[in-house]
Structure 1
Amino acid sequence: MALASQIACRLSHYIDVLRAGGVLTSSSPDTPAGAIDVSFATDDSRMARPGTLFVCKGAAFKREYLLGAIEAGAVAYVSEVDYEVSRDAGRPVPCLLVNDVRRALGLLADAAYDHPSGRVKVCAFTGTKGKTTSAYYLKSVLDAHARLVGGRTAGLFSSIEFDDGENWGTSKLTTPEAFVLEQQLANAAASGMEHVVMEASSQALKYDRTLGVEFAVGAFTNIGEDHISPIEHPTFEDYFASKLKIFAQSRVAVVNLDMDRVDEVLAAAHAAGCERVITYSLSDDAADVFAGGLRHTDRGIVACVRTPRFTEDILVATPVKFNVSNALGAIACAEGLGIEREAIVHGFERLRVPGRMELYPSADGRILGVVDFAHNGMSLETMLRDLRENYPDRELAVVFGATGGKGVDRRETMGAAAGKFADRIVITEDDPGPEDPKDICATIARFVEAEGNTNWRIEMDRTEAIRTAVRETAGRALVIVTGKGRETRMLRRHGAEPCEADGPVLERALAELS
């Protein structure tokens, strides 16, 4: 990965940044800060070089990492602990003590890359579900805008992939760590991008990975229970409060009026002092962006969309209503950015979001296969309810599992959702991590049966589970495979192992049946 250039400055500049951010507790360098030149800052000891300001981060941090960075040329370090390394180093190595190293990381990374979000318009989505789809929808509109004005297509930092104008690849985190994020934003600005669309996860907001980023638009799609565990968010209130932090960094706030606890979300947006709050809805025609008269067609759903500037029919290439809500959120963001009507109206027509509501029809049309990333109860229930409503004449079969080691509530919520809405259920492996996948599947099955649904089976091999769901269809059917989307790694006890993506497996199973 190519590195965007960091600014060269004196250590005193970073001291001022930390002091202004309210995290510096003391700085007692052995050498006057004004005399120390810093040309690079990082939290990765492997990247240290002469002139580095090194940040000591993480519960598992070891003093040896700091000594390695100093040996490579680090001239000062930032830490919550004074490791007193000058004697070991054989030279003075100033320590900047902070009371919150995560906040310090966000501040320092933004300063090191000279606040790149001031040079490119960053649009961020947060919410329990719909972040990825919404990000792709908005990118598609912004790409249509770029074609109209002769500019560069928008950057994208999603849970699937990233594109910063200089580098492209598969994402490791929904929202990167601070130094990576700021570097990617700097790349986007340097490459001439006008816009970047990103997902802001609850963990990133909670731990200030995005602290230095200025959001031209910050959108809140919805809220439901997810990521509640000892290693993520201890309570729902902690999860909710973390997501609400997005508005403190946003010039324009976008809010879905159809979500739970919307009054609190609106209050947070107004309290944050956003320049403008734009609302959207599928049910409340008082919203700034509203859609009605939805019509299902062979190409997707056509909705009559009204914004403050126009009213037009817009085609959204999806079989489900909730993705029209995601499209409205993208349109509301585009309104906040002042994007032209033509780009908005035609920006969704050819879009396909990787692993999100991807359609795989059988050759004879009897079976419609659907691959989606839905990996919590809220997403699965919304999807199954929508499909049940819009395809009442088809059998509904679903293949899914639940992750191990985190989000343990998903076993109950996903099991209950499938039990309520599916005609037939195949429970299988989905990133069991440190746990026995058989135990996870058995737990899910109990919650399926609690809904009075006994038409379920467990098939541990995910490929065989998909083939089983297709093979055992009776008449016209929908076969939905959820949880992994286009992922090609299965997280097991000893780490990530290669696996085939759900889409090709489903496509092959449908071809075999034909």
Structure 2
Amino acid sequence: MSLSLEIIRNLLIKENLLKEFISVQGWHLDTPEEFVFKKLSYDSRQTDAETLFFCKGLNFKEEYLTSAVSNGLAYYVAEQPYESSATGIIVTDIRKAMAILAMAFYDYPQNQLQVIGYTGTKGKTTAAYFAKAILDHTTHNKTALLSTMNTTLDGKTYFKSQLTTPESLDLYKMMAEAVKNGMTHLVMEVSSQAYKTQRVYGLTLDVGIFLNISPDHISPIEHPTFDDYFYCKRQLILNSKTVVLNHESDYFDLLQETAALANIPTITFETDYEVKSVPIGHHGFRLVNHHGELAIEADYEIQLAGDFNQENAASAIIATALTGASIEDAQKGLKDARVPGRMDQLITKNGTSVYVDYAHNYLSLKTLLEFAKKEHPAGRVIVVLGSPGNKALSRRHDFGQVLSKACDVVFLTADDPAFEDPQKIAEEINAAITNPALEVHYEMDRPEAIKKALAASTSNDSVVIAGKGVDPYQKINGVDVPYEGDYAVVKRLIKE
């Protein structure tokens, strides 16, 4: 992999991103010399004489550039010039420049992959896993996955994801590795932050799926308003060759209008194709074709409970059919699909149903608690829940509202408190609870909170452990502190 200075200049000019080159020779628009870069990096510790270094981020410090220069760095990209012996490539938008140059450096790997991208407030990970499971049959396990939880670039070896959608330099490096590994398809989650911070600038998806929308990720360091969050989410529609929409989503008319205005072909489930539950296997459903062009009407079976997961499966059937999957591929893939930390059900010795799920925002929690009440109408819904620190601050109020309507007993606990006091976070959730009949307990030791919830349950009740799923750590004071994982905790407690 390499990228010449001349190509960089041409790409930046084409995108109207280049301001000037600044070197000891002065300020110019022409390249100061011929130069070929063998590495790209935004980490000063990973630089040398052949690296193009990107000065990006709100926390960037000039000393990082100085450190890189001491490693032999000759060129940097930034939105402002710095006092440095290195030549500055000054641009109008550092993040757009990163994305454009990264895809060129890695030889546009997206062009050698069928790329399916998911966005939505809830269900992205489950639907993405469903799509990969289907395509594994279509491609003989040549499908890569980038999800909130895990990443695989060879179709079988998984590692923990750092971000839902990686930084652009990492994203295209991963895509290139997937191509090198013989992958033909990529299923990825595309977050609102990925569009807000231009991580996927210039990337066109073969199929984009917009599952749903509800307020989330609203905080000083994420999205200032729901409008900003929703606008960023909608960029997926404008950057897809074909888009799949959920007719049941809030603001569906705006989603449809966005696609129509840009002349993006659209397929809608719950109108073009309708999901109907049928008594097949564990959780069977029929996808009925009303007036769609895809030959996908058939009966399907999934392992996960809930009508919402049938909708996730329907989106995966449609998306994968657009990229080559058959009905048989979808039937086989969905029947065997497992999604770690999503709707994992366990039964206690006294017969209580326990649901472990990653539900971590208003819409996902509301859907989960409504499901629990529907499945166990004679019992109480007992919840173990926290909210993350230093981000998505609106969730605390949202959780209080959901708990007020759909919960009988709640044990408020820690969930990635970061640099905040988990007790304070729990108290903020409680402050938003408006149902005086709701029984509220505080227990900041998460395994102990789970233990108390199980002990309080009877056979008619359901216990919902929300937020972490199988996550093996708690984020505390900037450190990933090892954690057993909610599923493992419940399994251990049931055996005791």
TM over 0.5: yes
**Does 2:63 align with 1:69?**
no
After the TM superposition, which residues 83-162 of structure 1 pair with which residues of structure 2 at under 5 Å, given as runs?
A: 83-86=82-85, 93-147=86-140, 152-162=141-151
After the TM superposition, which residues 28-427 of structure 1 pair with which residues of structure 2 at under 5 Å, given as runs?
A: 28-29=22-23, 30=25, 32-33=31-32, 35-86=34-85, 93-147=86-140, 152-165=141-154, 168-274=158-264, 276-281=265-270, 287-292=271-276, 294-295=277-278, 299-306=282-289, 308-362=294-348, 366-427=351-412
Who is 2:430 aligned against? 445
Q: Distance in 2 between matches of 1:451 and 1:191?
A: 54
Residue-by-residue CA offset, 1:401-453 (whole Å, 9 max, x unaligned) = 112222222122112212211232221111222222112212222333x1233
The amino acid of 1:18's aligned partner reads L
Judge which range, 412-421 or 218-227, deviates more: 412-421
Q: Distance in 1 between matches of 2:314 and 2:460?
A: 31
Does the 8 Å CA contact 1:301/1:319 hold for their aligned counterparts?
no
What displacement does 1:182 show? 0.5
What displacement does 1:511 show? 2.5
Percent pairwise identity: 34
Long gaps (5+) in structure 2: none
Q: Number of residue pairs matched?
A: 487
Taking structure 1 as reference, are residues 13 and 72 closer, same or farther at Cα in structure 2, changes over 3 Å only? same
Q: Distance in 2 between matches of 1:457 and 1:259?
A: 34
Taking structure 1 as reference, are residues 376 and 509 closer, same or farther at Cα in structure 2, changes over 3 Å only? same
Please point out which of 19, 29, 40 is paired with 1:25.
Answer: 19
Judge which range, 461-470 or 337-346, deviates more: 337-346
Residue-by-residue CA offset, 1:166-197 (whole Å, 9 max, x unaligned) = 97411111111111110000011111111111
Taking structure 1 as reference, are residues 299 and 438 closer, same or farther at Cα in structure 2, changes over 3 Å only? same
Taking structure 1 as reference, are residues 486 and 370 closer, same or farther at Cα in structure 2, changes over 3 Å only? same
Who is 1:463 aligned against? 447
What displacement does 1:316 show? 1.8
SS in 2 for 1:203: helix
**Does 2:494 align with 1:510?**
yes
Does the 8 Å CA contact 1:159/1:171 hold for their aligned counterparts?
yes
Residue-by-residue CA offset, 1:256-306 (whole Å, 9 max, x unaligned) = 1110111111122233343x211112xxxxx222212x1467722433443
What displacement does 1:390 show? 3.2
Q: What's the TM-score, normalizing by structure 1? A: 0.90
Q: Distance in 1 between matches of 2:127 and 2:340?
A: 12
Q: Distance in 2 between matches of 1:278 and 1:290?
A: 12
Q: Distance in 2 between matches of 1:429 and 1:40?
A: 41
Taking structure 1 as reference, are residues 303 and 386 closer, same or farther at Cα in structure 2, changes over 3 Å only? farther
Q: Distance in 1 between matches of 2:71 and 2:420?
A: 40
Judge which range, 482-491 or 451-460, deviates more: 451-460
Does the 8 Å CA contact 1:278/1:336 hold for their aligned counterparts?
no
Does the 8 Å CA contact 1:320/1:387 hold for their aligned counterparts?
no
Please point out which of 488, 510, 514 is paired with 2:472.
Answer: 488
Q: Distance in 2 between matches of 1:418 and 1:472?
A: 17
The amino acid of 1:465's aligned partner reads A
SS in 2 for 1:128: coil
Does the 8 Å CA contact 1:247/1:268 hold for their aligned counterparts?
yes
Taking structure 1 as reference, are residues 477 and 295 closer, same or farther at Cα in structure 2, changes over 3 Å only? farther
Residue-by-residue CA offset, 1:449-482 (whole Å, 9 max, x unaligned) = x123332222221111111111111232221100
The amino acid of 2:360's aligned partner reads H
Q: Distance in 1 between matches of 2:460 and 2:186?
A: 42
Does the 8 Å CA contact 1:122/1:197 hold for their aligned counterparts?
yes
What displacement does 1:392 show? 2.0
The amino acid of 1:63's aligned partner reads E
SS in 2 for 1:347: helix
Residue-by-residue CA offset, 1:185-235 (whole Å, 9 max, x unaligned) = 001111111111111111111111011333111111111000111110001
CA RMSD, Structure 1 to Structure 2 (Å): 2.0
The amino acid of 1:508's aligned partner reads R
Taking structure 1 as reference, are residues 52 and 61 closer, same or farther at Cα in structure 2, changes over 3 Å only? same
SS in 2 for 1:74: coil
Q: Distance in 2 between matches of 1:59 and 1:443?
A: 28
Taking structure 1 as reference, are residues 493 and 34 closer, same or farther at Cα in structure 2, changes over 3 Å only? closer
Please point out which of 474, 485, 490 is paired with 1:501.
Answer: 485
The amino acid of 1:269's aligned partner reads A
Taking structure 1 as reference, are residues 75 and 272 closer, same or farther at Cα in structure 2, changes over 3 Å only? farther
What displacement does 1:47 show? 1.9
The amino acid of 1:310's aligned partner reads I
Who is 1:89 aligned against? none
What displacement does 1:358 show? 1.0
Residue-by-residue CA offset, 1:323-368 (whole Å, 9 max, x unaligned) = 111111111211321321211122211212011111112356x122
SS in 1 for 2:417: coil
Judge which range, 492-501 or 381-390, deviates more: 492-501
Long gaps (5+) in structure 1: 1-5, 87-92, 282-286
